[in-house]
Structure 1
Amino acid sequence: MRTAAIAISTARDRVGESPVWSVADQALYWVDIESQRIHRLDWATRTQSSWTLAERVGCIALSNRGTVIAAMESGIYEVELQDAPMARVTCLATVDHPQPGMRFNDGRCDAQGRFWIGTMVRDMSLASAAGGIYCLDTQGLRGPVLQGYITPNGMAFSPDGRTAYLSDSHPSRQTIWQHAFDSANGIWGPQTEWVDMKPLPGRPDGAAVDAEGCYWICGNDAGQVHRFSPAGALLQSIAVPVSKPAMCAFGGPELRHLFITSIQPAQPAPGFDAALDGAVLVLEPGVQGRAEPLFTQFPVPVPSH
């Protein structure tokens, strides 16, 4: 076990988010939202490749077609990554945001291969609760199925698929909720407050669930990654050398590595290594993760009459 985090990415992202490990490729994929890029790091060679797209990429999922599903500003796109920097991009669904200046943010697939994604107003200073949760499946993009969020984040599902987690990162919220989840039908039950993050170090950002059903979440602004039991008890906090860890994901050959993307702060934070701001970090937390489900529920075209 090595809980000291080291940097493995060659570049420094402005807003590094959405790390996803590909078991098939033995590679890590992630995004830099503000630079409109998807990155890929081959684990065996440590070779990094990057693709720049036409819009900000809030989050990604991997599909059973070997493509990347990218939630962007105007909709959800299927991206066929070719020899970098070439990519073929196909629109799967467009979104009708309730107000201008919005984009997709955090998201992930459930065990049935649906893609769940949150939206937010890009300017967090507005504290606009126009964000919602949408679902992409064979019926297209539906939603918002949940609404009233400022900065929806921390989405994850329990190993048995019966519990969904969701947070709001905004300084005025800083809460993690639990929902009963009907995985067969893709229905979220009522939200219950699970963890109030206000007394803890950092705002709740991106998250992952390990093989034991414990929930890991980045403490943005505090340089921490926290692990909670299924009952919501804080079990462990790991310090990282950047002030703004953004999202974590399990990966590596045995899913025993924890990858952590990060964000460059507006001003270097005292007590942290500014040279690592925006890097992807990796550590070994001593527990095993779970492989992320692939997106399989591609929208079925509606026949024209």
Structure 2
Amino acid sequence: MERVADVRSGVGESPFWHVAEQAWYWVAITEKKIWRYCPTAPSSQASLQYWNTNEMLGCLTQAADGSFIAGMESGVFQLHLSEAHQVQAKRLAAPAELGQGMRFNDGRCDRQGRFWSGTMFMDMAQAKAIGHLYRYSAQQGISTPFVSGLFVQNGLAWSPDGRTMYLSDSHPNSKMIWAFDYDCEVGVPHNQRVFVNMKALESRPDGAAVDIDGCYWICGNDGSRLLRFTPEGKLDKEIALPMKKPAMCSFGGPNLDTLMVTSIGVGQPEDDEWAGATILLRPGTQGIAETAFVVD
């Protein structure tokens, strides 16, 4: 298990491995920052870079043209990263239901390169189940909500063949993970069903990833754990983590056999050196490369 520099985030989220650059990206939501870590860079200064944004980012993914797609406070954006730590941002879409006090949260592309993300009310203590799940594509724009009534949308992932979609709700009032049948041709989920009810476990479901065997890895927020569930929803592996609030995991590295795990520092003790840390570990299996957003 390896710590990525001495970076501590208020809410570290949305890690992914950029294959072309052989580098990791993730976001620090409360700091409005994008981080990039290149393990093979010739100097420590070059290996770790950051960019500032004008809004909080809930999620980030690569696009096929070299830009990035992000779910932010006021909508879905296309981002271009400059060498001066600045970001050129163009808003692509904003759903009508995105009200005051809300933002986009977890998101990534399906196997065909369509971007999916959901919204949440930022003050979790108010327990407002007004979040929605959306699809965005360059051809069709932003969809109407596919799933509604979410407290804290999270856990998006797809099976290796893309025909099963996963979604979670992290709020203590929910703690659910669902599976859907997914129509790859048109990008529509249906047949929503309970995949795992985590109310019996000591942690909440947060961000997730799928390995080459189709197993679903999810961060056990509040439980200092990574949990792996088989495609049948059976818990078959747990990995203890040094941070109490792991937030999201993603497979990467040259052989896709490394997991990057981000975490949450907000609300944790000042002397907790692992709160908000980002780590790398080898879980004993491989993942699947993230699909870039299809621009046209």
**What band does the TM-score fall into relative to the shorter chain?**
over 0.9
Aligned to 1:61: 61
* C-alpha RMSD of the superposition: 1.4
Moved over 3 A (4+): none
Aligned to 2:281: 283
- Deviations for 1:86-123, whole angstroms, at most 9, x for unmatched residues? 22222212232353200000011011110000100001
Alignment identity in percent? Answer: 47
- Deviations for 1:116-139, whole angstroms, at most 9, x for unmatched residues? 001000011111111000111021
Aligned to 2:170: 169
More moved, 100-109 vs 137-146: 137-146
- Alpha-carbon shift at residue 198 of structure 1 (Å): 1.2
Alpha-carbon distance in 1 for matches of 2:70, 2:181: 26
Provide the aligned length of Structure 1 versus Structure 2. Answer: 291
Match status 1:81 vs 2:81? yes
Match status 1:243 vs 2:244? yes
Match for 1:51: what amino acid? W
Alpha-carbon distance in 2 for matches of 1:195, 1:128: 22
More moved, 170-179 vs 273-282: 273-282
Match for 1:161: what amino acid? G
Match status 1:266 vs 2:267? yes
Alpha-carbon distance in 1 for matches of 2:268, 2:133: 31
CA contact (8 A) 1:114 1:297 kept: no
Aligned to 1:6: 2
Aligned to 1:301: none
- Deviations for 1:162-186, whole angstroms, at most 9, x for unmatched residues? 1000010000100100101101101
Gaps of at least 5 residues in structure 2 are none
Match status 1:123 vs 2:119? no
More moved, 194-203 vs 236-245: 194-203
Aligned to 1:70: 70
Match for 1:180: what amino acid? D
The 1:84/1:254 distance shift into structure 2, 3 A limit, reads: farther
The 1:84/1:284 distance shift into structure 2, 3 A limit, reads: farther
- Deviations for 1:175-232, whole angstroms, at most 9, x for unmatched residues? 1001011011011103101101111231000000001100000000111000010000
Alpha-carbon distance in 2 for matches of 1:277, 1:179: 33
Match for 1:279: what amino acid? A
Aligned to 1:51: 51
Aligned to 2:292: 294
Match status 1:18 vs 2:14? yes
Match for 2:61: what amino acid? A
Look up the SS of the partner of 2:147 in the other structure.
Answer: strand
Alpha-carbon distance in 2 for matches of 1:221, 1:12: 17
Match status 1:108 vs 2:108? yes
- Alpha-carbon shift at residue 28 of structure 1 (Å): 0.5
Gaps of at least 5 residues in structure 1 are 299-305
TM-score, normalised via structure 2 length: 0.95
- Deviations for 1:132-169, whole angstroms, at most 9, x for unmatched residues? 00111021111212111000100100011110000100
- Alpha-carbon shift at residue 265 of structure 1 (Å): 4.0
Alpha-carbon distance in 2 for matches of 1:13, 1:207: 19
Alpha-carbon distance in 1 for matches of 2:97, 2:16: 26
Alpha-carbon distance in 1 for matches of 2:136, 2:116: 6
- Alpha-carbon shift at residue 82 of structure 1 (Å): 1.4
Aligned to 1:182: 183
The 1:98/1:54 distance shift into structure 2, 3 A limit, reads: closer
TM-score, normalised via structure 1 length: 0.92
